[in-house]
Every structure is written in C-alpha cells, then in structure tokens.
A and B are shown apart, each in its own frame.
Chain A
Amino acid sequence: MKKKVLGVLLAATMAVGMLAGCGGGNATEAPADDAAPAEEAPADEAEAPADDAAGDVISIGFAQVGHESDWRTASTKSCQDVFSAENGYDLSFVDCDNDSAAQLEAVRNFIQQDVDYIIIDPIVSTGWDTVLTECEDAGIPVIVIDRTIDDSDKYAAWVGSNFKTEGLAAGEWLKAYAEKQGISEINALVISGTTGASAQIGRSEGFQEIADREGWNILDEQTGDFTEDGGQAVMESYCKSYAGKFNVVVCQNDNEAFGAMTAMDNAGVTYGLDGDVILISFDACTAGLEKVKARQFSADFECNPLAAPFVEEVIQTLQSGGTPDKEVYMEEHWFALPDAIVDFSIDGAAQTMTEVTDDVIAAQY
C-alpha cells in the first residue's frame, strides 16, 4: 500500500517537474497560441484574394538556444516579430534552455507537426546528422541561424555573423585608435566567452591575428562564460596579477564588460575614453551602447541578433522554388563616440563606424 502511494506520488511529482521544466518554453508559446485563432481568420481572409499561390499560412518551428543574454532575447524577439500571424506565418517557438537533448526533441516534434520550415540555433555544433536526415526525409527545409552545425550539411542555409570579422574589426580599430592616441605598446587582457562557442573562437582568432601581426602582447586570456559574474571574477584576478601592466581589456560580450567595469572600479583602475585602460566590448546591446555613450566602453563591436529578416528572405527564395546561398552573413556595425571614431579597414575593405547617439541607442535591440 505504502509503496503504491509512493509510486503515485513519484509519478505526480515527476509530472509536475516535467511541466515546470518546460515552463520556459510553454509560457512563451502560450501567447502565440492564444493569438493564433484570433489572428488567423482575418489573416486568411486578407490573404486569400491577394495571394492564391501561397494563400496558406507558412508554419515555422524555431528551436532557440535559451535566453541567457539580452542578445538572445533580441534574437527571439526578432523571429517572433517577423514571423507573426499578421505577416502570414504560424511560429512554434521552443526555448531549449541550453539543453541540447531538448533541442533535438523539439526538432523531432516539429517534424511530427509537419511544419513547413524549421529554424535551428544549434546549442552544440555536432550530433546533428541523424535528425537533419529525418528532416530531409520529411521534406522540411532547415535553416540554421547564429551558431553553426559542423557535422552535417543537410540544411538549406545558414544565417549568422562572421565572428572572425568582428575580432578583426576590434583589432584593426585598436591599431588605428592607438596610433591616434600615440600609444606605442599594447598590453592586452582578454576575457573570452564560453570556451568552444563559435563566437569565442571567431573573436579570439580575429583579434589574435592582428595582435600577432602588430606584435602586441596578450598577457592573458581566460573565460568569463559570457556572464557578468564571470567577467567580474576574471577581471578581479587580472587586476591583481597584472596590476599596472595592462592598457587594453577586451571583453567578448557586453555582460562580461559590465562585470569587468565593476572589478576595475573596485581596484581603482580607470577605463574608457578618459581612463588609462582601453575597454573593448562585443555584442553592442542597448545597455552596452549606453556605456559607450557614457565614455566607459571605448568601442563596441556589434553582433547582429536580428537574423529573422534575413531568414525570411531565404524562406521566400525557397517558396518561389529558388536555391538560397548556403551561407548568409549579416551586416554589422562598429560603435564608438566621435573621439574614438577612426578610419580602418579589414583585409583592404574600408569600414565605416557608427557614432553612438540617443537615437542609435533607442533603435538598438
């Protein structure tokens, strides 16, 4: 008897656990579901006379990584805005909470739902061949965004940023800016992103390439896991290990840079346009641009999260029977204040920097 009760309870608690575990995904899905019936009818009516060929709503499944940063949230929102019911799409959004098994599961669910297109932002770059073959067999084109898939090419297109270009941009900017400021010796500390993430690899590679070419001294490179707490802890240690020996800090995302700022504040190190240390950051989210405006970040190199418009182009190409480019790179901006806007070029291509103003900040994600 006792065992039976325990069994029932265990089952119940597991069910609760599972429900709650999926909470993140369900909750964001719910409003979409609620909106769908209300919006569908007028959308159908409106579209039916206008477009006979593609009169049906295009259903899309999107398996997102999670929501670990502002960047990710912007990426999610971009998809939800572009693939809205008003625009003739039915988006099933699944937040995978950085769980790669859950992501595979989500993709398989999309196959069962028989959606028209699947968008994946792969949490890990390998282990995709089986599930992508299943997608192919079901005749569902897959569009990969942001992160890459390395062990399979059974997807229609990849849309994302060229992280190495971002790293190169930071390096070339630093060279030009240092020249302008009359700084001859660069001693840089790098707070890198999650080890092995493609953004970390690309940005490190790009910056390292320029550092090697210019003979800069990279004192240390440790990971802050793309988090503010991580950036703070690493910078706290850097301030002790390399007290007075560094003049550049490169943080591979804005959150790490916020943490580094706190740590430098607490070590009496000044940074930014008016300080001793040149602080470089990547991502350029709204909060990051505010720091550029406040002269605290010397420059911020964008990683455009708004992939959805580019994905929509790919989908339109596929809808009309065309073949999209396998790799689609998004346009990125390099942000600074006029004091730090310098001319530089990447592999011979001249770059334009964007001045940070209140309007630019308001328009940023």
Chain B
Amino acid sequence: MAKEKTFFDKLKAWPLLLPVVALILVMAVNIIYDAANGNNPFSFFTITLQNTTANGTVLYGRIIDILNRGSEAAILAIGMTLVVSSSAGTDISVGSVMSLAASVCCVTLAGYGVSSTTELAHPLALGLLAGVAVGCLCGAFNGFLVAHLKIQPMVATLILFTAARSIGLLVCNDLIVYVRNPQFGFFGSFMGPIPTPIIITAICVAVTALVLSKTALGTYIQSVGINAKASRIAGLNSKTIIFMTYLLCGLFAGIAGIINGSRITSADSNNIGLYMELDAILAVALGGNSLGGGKFNLAGSIIGAYTIQAITTTLYALGVSSAQAPVYKAVIVIIIVAIQAPPVKAYFRKRSAAKAALAKEV
C-alpha cells in the first residue's frame, strides 16, 4: 500500500506527466474510432513489415508515420527549447531558414540554374554541408542581433522570417529545383527498414541530451534565462550562451530543412517549413515549458512535437475533411494547454490537498 502510494506520488510529480497524458489521449481517440467501426481497435498502433517497390522491406504503420513525419518538428523543437530557455523569446525564422537550407542544398547538388536533374553536380557531402552551414549562418545572425544588439527575439528573427524564404527563392531562380537522386533522397526515405528521418532525429536528440547532461551547458542556459544579469555577475558569459542557443537553433533548422527537401527530392522553397515555426513553438509549449524562459524540459518539447503530428495523423486516419481539420486541431491544443495552465493545476492541487486533509480528519 505504502509502496503504491509513493509510486503514484512520484508519477504526479513527474514533469512529463501531462505532456505524456496528452499524447496518449490523442492516440486513444483512434482506439475508440476503430472499435466503433468494427475494426481491430489497435490497428492504429499496429506496426507491420511491408514490402515496398523501391526500398525493400520496411516498418509500416501509423505510429511509424507519426515518428517519421514528426521528425522535422521534433528537431526544430530541440533548438526552440534552448532559445526559449536562454532568451525568453522565440525564433520565428526557423521555418524560413528550413526552406533556405533546403534550397541552398539542392542548388549546390543540382548546379546553379538547373531546375531538374538526376545527377549530382557536386558531391553529396558538399550539398549537405552547404545546407547546414547556411542554417548555422542564419542562427548566428539571429544570435548576434539578440545577444549582442539586445533586439527583442521576435523582432530580430522576424528579419529572417521574411527574408530567408525569399533568398531561397532567389537562390533557386524562382523554380522548384528537383534533385531526383536516390543518394539525396536517402535522408527522407529509409535506412534499412527504418525511415531515415527517425534515425536523424534520434541522433540529434541523443547528442543534445548527452551534451546537456554531461556538461554544465544546460544549467548555464537555464540560469541565463532565469536572470541574465545575475548569471553574468556569477561569471557566466550570458551573451555567448544566448548566441550559442540561436546558433544551435539555426543548425537544427538547417538539418530539418534538408530532411524535408530530401523527402520530396526537391527544393520547394515556397512550401518547405511553411508555418513550421508555429509547430515548433507549440511543441515547446505543449511540453509544459514556460515561454517565459528559464527552466526547460527537452523531453517535454519532443513529446509535444510528436503530439502535434499525432493529431495530424489521427485526423487523416479519421478521414476528417481537411477543411475542418484545423478547427479540431485548435480545440485539442486548447484543451492540452488549458490542463497545463497554472490556475488549473493549482485548482487540482488544492482539491487533492483538501481531500487529503479530509481523509486525515476522518
């Protein structure tokens, strides 16, 4: 009895409880839907092996789709979490930077002015490097404006939010640049039976988590976010730390852009990363992180990103007309954010405390 209670208390104190519950609730809708339709109630969760025309035998199922399609948002959410924590602001340029990175990568691979090719004009590594480098450059630009010129993050990143996509279009000569090459397509298709984006996301998350836990960087970022002045007096270089978080955010945007470009083996500058900055910010919020900076929970943001994708995939699975899908999405997001709101949390805490007190009296 006593043991059970401690487990329950521990669970209640677990910071990821609400994000995880939200994710489970979203997916549970599918069980009800499938059961109501007389299908296997767990068909949404079934993962099978599927023979494909192009990629051999691969993992196949809705859960794989969520993990696969949610990759970009999850990768962006890593960078966004760090930015939010250190500077109490959001980087709204990530979607545009994704588009720019993909454009630069594809143009490098296809050669300038070429609109469609199956042959690579330059080595694959050079294209990837160019894309990632552009992402870093954009991140550094944002970081410089925010950390050194003290411009409000939203204003500072608004510049690239507008400009990056347009620069991408200029680079692409106003065309969709197709690089129909399997080598390039690899990053959006499969590595063995597993979709490559899932593997790339796992690596990004693992490396970041490792760096944050094995070094003091995570603590530094949080302390700068809580009080930059005090951190500076304590001997931390706040500017460098804020700059670095933006640089990382740009790097991750670059990686996400390349994945998205690789999925469609082309640079569709108008559409790659469109509104992705909103998904990334929402992921951070859904993960139970305060957009006011300071303490952060990386795992929460990642779960938040997959929750957003789970909503999208669920709406596809339910066959909700795409015109109405955003309304359902909004309703679900309101509910998830509301149950995490401080007054609501406080209300439940008060109620359970009152219950406990009542139980004691009896």
Contacts and interface: CB of A to CB of B under 8 A. Distances in A.
B271 A225 contact: yes
Kindly name the residue among B62, B69, B149, B319 whose own CB sees the greatest number of chain A CB atoms within 10 A. Answer: B319
Nearest to B60: A267
A98 interface: yes
A17 interface: yes
Interface residues on A, range: 35 or more
A171 interface: no
A232 B319 contact: no
A17 B52 contact: no
A70 interface: yes
27 contacts: A16-B159, A17-B159, A18-B162, A23-B163, A23-B166, A24-B170, A67-B169, A67-B175, A70-B176, A73-B176, A95-B174, A221-B321, A222-B316, A223-B323, A228-B264, A229-B271, A229-B272, A233-B69, A237-B313, A237-B316, A237-B317, A240-B61, A241-B317, A258-B264, A265-B53, A266-B58, A287-B116
B151 interface: yes
Interface stretch (A6-14, A138-146, A310-318, A333-341): A6-14
B266 interface: yes
Nearest to B161: A17
A24 B96 CA distance: 14
Nearest to A266: B52
A268 B52 contact: yes
SS of A interface (majority):
helix
Q: Which of B167, B260, B264 has the most CB of A within 10 A?
A: B264
Nearest to A286: B116
Contacts of B155: 10, 13
B54 A266 contact: yes
Contacts of A221: 321
B6 interface: no
A305 interface: no
Given A70-B176, A220-B319, A233-B316, A20 B264 contact: no
A24 B319 contact: no
A269 B51 CA distance: 9
B215 interface: no
B110 to A, nearest CB: 14
B343 to A, nearest CB: 35
Contacts of B189: 266
A176 B52 CA distance: 31
Contacts of B51: 268
Interface string A182-210: 00000000001001100000000000000
B271 A24 contact: no
B227 interface: no
A236 interface: yes
Interface string A54-84: 0000000000001111100100100000000
B92 interface: no
Interface in B56-93: 58, 60-62, 65, 69
Interface in A8-44: 9-10, 13, 16-18, 20-24, 27-28
A9 B152 CA distance: 12
A237 B65 contact: yes
Contacts of A22: 166
A21 B271 contact: no
A20 B167 contact: yes
A228 B266 CA distance: 9
A298 interface: no
A287 B317 contact: no
Interface string A95-122: 1011000000000000000000000000
A13 B145 contact: yes
Contacts of B290: none
Contact of A241 (B166, B272, B319, B323): B319
A218 to B, nearest CB: 12
A259 interface: yes
A165 interface: no
Contacts of A258: 264
A270 interface: yes
A27 B176 CA distance: 16
Given A9-B151, A17-B158, A270-B53, 9 more contacts: A20-B167, A24-B174, A70-B175, A228-B264, A229-B272, A233-B316, A265-B53, A265-B54, A266-B54
A205 to B, nearest CB: 15
B351 interface: no
Interface in B13-53: 50-53
Contacts of A97: 166
A230 B190 CA distance: 19
A13 B156 contact: yes
Interface in B117-156: 145, 149-151, 155-156
Contact of B270 (A23, A98, A192, A222): A98
Contact of A13 (B58, B151, B260): B151
A284 interface: no
Contacts of B149: 6, 9
Contact of A21 (B60, B116, B163): B163
B150 A229 contact: no
A73 B176 CA distance: 9
B220 interface: no
Contacts of A267: 50, 52, 60
Nearest to B178: A287
